[in-house]
Amino acid sequence: MISSENHIADSFGRVHDYLRISLTERCNLRCFYCMPEEGISLKENTSYMNKQELLSIAKTFIAHGINKIRLTGGEPLVRKDAAEIILELGKLPIELSLTTNGILIEKYLEVFKQAKIKSLNISLDTLNKEKFNKITRRDYFEKVMSNINLLINNGIHVKLNAVLIKGVNDDELINFIEFTRNHDVHYRFIEFMPFDGNKWNWSKGVSYNEIINTLKNKYDDSLLRLVDKKNDTSKNYKIAGFKGTFAIISSITNPFCDTCNRIRLTADGKLKNCLFSNNETDLLTALRNDQNIIPLIYNSILHKKEKRSGMNSFEDISNPVNNTNNRSMVAIGG
């Protein structure tokens, strides 16, 4: 058993116990809000963490209070040794989960079970096949839907993520909610966020208030506010009588920074203390040089900004000078 005597905290007293590790920058989809249309320049394989390096860094974090790890990408399951990594992490004293686009689920179902993964996040920005092909630039809709049902039938809880964008999928909001009528899933609606290459403009965004007003008009008193869990990034709801639930992640109009407990580790071994931060701490190079990475981790989190990497106002985050000097989402890991 790994000791967890220490905890990683920032200057605002926020304890960080949740680590998101990107396994790869590669993806088998090309969603326009995540990956630039021209793609991204991939580095040499030696620039990325190998399995042993990733596990070593993960164990260091666990020894300092991390109790939850989520694997992300790119698409984490396209990495050739993804199964080995999942199984090794599954042996550690953490809650292990994964965010995926759902295409390769059937190949990894037994791995998930063996690693005791109880919940998966799947990106599903539309329930319309033609629109799915347009958003992702690929034709995998039926496979993703089949794999969602496969997870549900095998007792693995499914969280579905949809980035709501005006003129793209905002007209499906009620359809998304109706999907929870007979499916025991948790559908999460994410405000459109700015990252390198995704041509962000808030005129395309759908706000928390817009979503709630639409749902109040449709469902009236059947719209129920649920109790949020500690450190939740979302505001949680359900419709009375529906099997599933849903939530809104309002990173732009109503951020959740005051309870943030998240640390991000990119596939090339850089620590990001905030999703919106363009400052990174190179843990991989330090590890390869036999340096102690613990002071680097603590120093990075200690200097975390109070809100959205110093973008405290809507005007700040709307300023292209501030919001484009970051990686593409596919290279961060979400």
What are the tokens at 150? 């496969």
Per-residue pLDDT reduced to its tens digit, 245-263: 999 998 888 777 888 999 9
Handedness of CA 311, 274, 65, 283 (dihedral sign): negative
Per-residue pLDDT reduced to its tens digit, 104-158: 999 999 999 999 999 999 999 999 999 998 888 888 999 999 999 999 999 999 9
On the 0-12 / 13-18 / 19+ scale of CB atoms within 10 A, 105 is buried
pTM for this prediction:
0.90
